[in-house]
Amino acid sequence: MTGDPTRGGHREPWHDRRASDHVVAQPPDFTADRVEEDTAASIAAQQDAGGPPLQWPLMIVLVGLVVSLVIVADDHFRRGAVLFAAFVVGAFFLRLILPDRDAGWLAVRSRGVDLACLGFLGVSLSVFALIVPPPS
């Protein structure tokens, strides 16, 4: 509801209509400020978006995981599961030794959180892959 605030209505800050002059001011234009912010953010992202070529640390891990799943699908569960766990542990060590910029997409959170998650997952998968009894 727009109108005179003394009569129960409220006014938007950009709406200034007076009975005497019938002047209506336009709302503020935020577009120019937004364009400047977007341009600055885009430039910062381009400067920061280095990373390793072809994201090689992640590609090594992903190719290994796919190969291990193919081995599991070929009815060699233990070999494939151990290989899967080995590549997760490999991701742990890549994240451990590579700096953040060279780790590429292996660096998801802080180094400590990434190492904790990959370490827990790698050890758990290794244990589970080794304790599953062979088919009888």
Give residue-wise pLDDT tens across range 100-134. Answer: 888 888 999 999 999 999 999 999 999 999 999 87
Cα angle: 65, vertex 71, 76; to 5 degrees: 130
Residues 23-49 have a mean pLDDT of 67
What is the DSSP track for 49-80? ---SGGGHHHHHHHHHHHHHHHHHHTT-HHHH
Which pTM was predicted?
Answer: 0.62
Q: 61: pLDDT confidence band, cut at 50, 70 and 90? A: very high
Half-sphere exposure of residue 79: CA atoms within 13 angstroms, side-chain side: 8
Q: Which residues of 28-59 are buried (b: 16+ CB within 10 A; e: fewer)?
A: eeeeeeeeeeeeeeeeeeeeeeebbeeeebbe
